[in-house]
Amino acid sequence: MREDMKYLMLDRPRVNHKNRQCKGEKRKAQRGLEFLPLHEPMKRRFDFHCRNKGTRLVGREDHRKQFSDYYAPILRFLRSRVGRKWNEVNSEIRREADSKTVLGFHLVFHVKCLVRRSVYLVDGRAYSTKHNELTKGEFYVHPDSGLLCQVA
């Protein structure tokens, strides 16, 4: 596993950092100079945005760093390890991601969420312990052999 996997999974660049406009430049482009205000407040403006869980107060997002989980590197890593013993794959992950640090714990937590460990097979189909059939692309540990598998 890559040494910087925990950083790859979390870090993203600042939003609109390449083509960010300075404060007031957008208004200048929309209106003439005679319509600009004489002064602007020093405080940040807060807007209400509708997100998944209703309306909440969110500040100006164009200057913030975006922290969101980027699953592509860890999914590629797990796909490359399909067919190997889960204990070896798990020890390789834990060797690079120290669970005492925040980033390492975050990576280990997401790996635990992505790989189903308590699974049973019925007629060649994998079911979780909650009696849900695993969908295409999900990872699980084979109950008999202990190999990392992916649902086809």
Q: Provide the whole-model pTM.
A: 0.62
* Per-residue tokens: 117: 């460990």
Q: Quick: pLDDT tens for 100-125.
A: 888 888 889 999 999 999 999 998 88
Instruction: Please give the pLDDT value at position 47.
Output: 47
Name the amino acid, one letter, at 10.
Answer: L
Q: Please provide the distance, in angstroms rounded to a whole number, between the alpha carbons at the two ends of the chain.
A: 24
Closest CA relative to residue 145, chosen from 97, 91, 103, 87? 87
CA 65 – CA 53 distance, rounded (Å): 21
pLDDT of 1 over the 50 cut: yes
pLDDT band at 70 (very low <50, low <70, confident <90, very high): confident
Range name among 14-18, 33-37, 49-53, 75-79 with the lowest pLDDT average = 49-53
User: Averaged over 73-100, what is the pLDDT?
Assistant: 91
CA 141 – CA 152 distance, rounded (Å): 14
How would you classify the pairing of strands 115-116 and 139-141? parallel
